Amino acid sequence: MNSRYFNPFALWTDVAAKTGNMLLSSGTVVQIRTHRLLSSALSPSDADLRELGLMGQEKLAAASESGTAMASQLHATQFALTHRAVRQSLQTVEALAGLMVSISPSHTAAQTQRLLKAANRSMATATQLSSATARIAQRGLRPIYSRATSNAQRLLKNR
């Protein structure tokens, strides 16, 4: 089997691993920041106030970068691939219908060949569509992941 069929699996595995790591890092950041807020609620230091301001700025920046990255990747690939997938699915259905109404062994063989080619094209496009969707998720996750993991490292170091 062609290695291109395994590509979406690798891409989605990467998305899942990074999401898990991001969630762990986010939990660490929330725990440390909550502890700092509660400990200094009555008299926050300048560092505490800077950290509070940084929280809001980071979230807005990460959300904006994430949305822009996903929209760019979506525009670049998703629409064309979706159109191709629908068109090829219809061609596969048409080839199947041709096979169903075959009247001779030679016609059946030709229609079977047509169906196999159409199904293979559809499967390849579906694989590309899944890969493209995973890349959209990767692009959207990247800014959030980088902020969460770097914040966790920074806050753990400065504890």
Please report the pLDDT score of residue 57 as a whole number. 87
How far is the C-alpha of 141 from the C-alpha of 7, rounded, in Å?
Answer: 18
Per residue in 74-133, pLDDT (tens digit) is: 877 777 888 888 899 999 999 999 999 999 999 999 999 999 999 999 888 888 888 888
How far is the C-alpha of 133 from the C-alpha of 74, rounded, in Å?
Answer: 8
Please report the pLDDT score of residue 1 as a whole number. 47
Per residue in 11-47, pLDDT (tens digit) is: 999 999 999 999 999 999 889 888 888 887 778 888 8
Report pTM. Answer: 0.72
Closest-CA residue to 12 (of 146, 141, 143, 149): 141
